[in-house]
Amino acid sequence: GKADTIKQIQIGNVDVAGDLSINGEFKTSLEVLLEAKEKLGGDIRVRELNGILYLDWLQNFSLNIVDITLGINMKEIVRGKDITSLGTRIIPLGANNLTISSVNGGLDYIEDINAKNTYGIIEKTVEYREIEDAADLYNACLSDLDKYTQPLYLLESNALDLSFLSGNKAEEFTLGVNLHIVNPVMAIDSIYKIVEIDLDLLKPYDPK
């Protein structure tokens, strides 16, 4: 209610379900939303319809799978990793700021030694506000540990959008579409989701 009307976002289509408790004190709406998304899954996007902004939160934006193959429509591909969101020392918090220190030798964190040796000591707090037992909190964090301590691997590819030649909209590159990327030289043959598109409006058939 504090944002100007033109900046307000209405609830759009939502098919993600689940129960969780999040402490939203001193956090922005976006921070709370991203925290909920991390726990419940799915993808979020903002779209405009008739001058009104809507937020969609869906398990899948698209079920289409489009091929990007070396020697056909793949021009370039770069593999990198994003370490900005990882931690090596994970501090789980449960209900009423419950910690795991009582079941973890007095330590309120779980440390990933391999990640620590690679990236140094990086503390990251994660919330499990629905958990009221320290042992359950420890086990929940331990089962999720790789999710917090491993970098996100990112693929950046220049590829021709063949839908502009075929006229088949099911082949179009849009946010949320799944790409079957095949590059034997880099030992890549997996399905990845489009999370960002860099598009030249004069050459929409040639996005990054």
In degrees and rounded to multiples of 5, residue 77 shows phi and psi of -145, 140
| Each residue's pLDDT tens digit, 114-149 | 999 999 999 999 999 889 999 999 999 999 999 899
Query: Rounded CA gap, 174 and 179, in Å?
Result: 10
Confidence band of 50 (pLDDT split at 50, 70, 90): confident
Kindly report the pTM of this predicted structure: 0.55
Query: Rounded CA gap, 86 and 109, in Å?
Result: 14
User: Looking at residues 9-20, what average pLDDT do you find?
Assistant: 83
Predicted confidence (pLDDT) at residue 100 exceeds the cutoff of 80 = yes
**Is the CB of residue 158 less than 8 Å from the CB of residue 90?**
no
- Residue 130: Cβ within 10 Å count: 14
